[in-house]
């Protein structure tokens, strides 16, 4: 069983890495990029029977800083 957790900064939280990427894209000639938000994807290989609630617990305790980040879980 696999789970994919996507972690992103919440709206309104300054994203300096995203801004650096946006600036670099403009410097490389990629015009029209008005904003970039950068995040991370974490793929978990889980034992059968692991619940989404358990993955949520992992996110809340370690994988995401819930003060400034939001997360989305996809179970496959």
CATH of residue 41: 3.30.1280.10
| pLDDT at residue 48, as a whole number | 96
CB within 8 A of 16, min separation 6: which ones?
none
Structural domain harbouring 20 = 2-75
**16: number of Cβ within 10 Å:** 9
How confident is the model over 40-50, as a mean pLDDT? 97
Domain count, the chain: 1
Q: How confident is the model at residue 5 (pLDDT cuts 50, 70, 90)?
A: very high
Which bin fits 53, alpha (ψ -120 to 50), beta or left (φ > 0)?
alpha
CA separation, residue 3 to residues 7, 38, 47, 61, 72 (Å): 13, 20, 11, 16, 10
């Amino acid at each position: 069983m696999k789970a994919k957790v996507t972690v992103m900064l919440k709206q309104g939280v300054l994203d300096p890495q995203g801004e650096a990427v946006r600036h670099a894209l403009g410097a490389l000639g990629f015009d029209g990029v008005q904003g970039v938000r950068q995040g991370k994807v974490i793929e978990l290989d889980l034992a059968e029977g692991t619940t989404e609630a358990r993955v949520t617990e992992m996110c809340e305790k370690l994988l995401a800083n819930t003060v400034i980040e939001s997360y989305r879980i996809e179970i496959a």
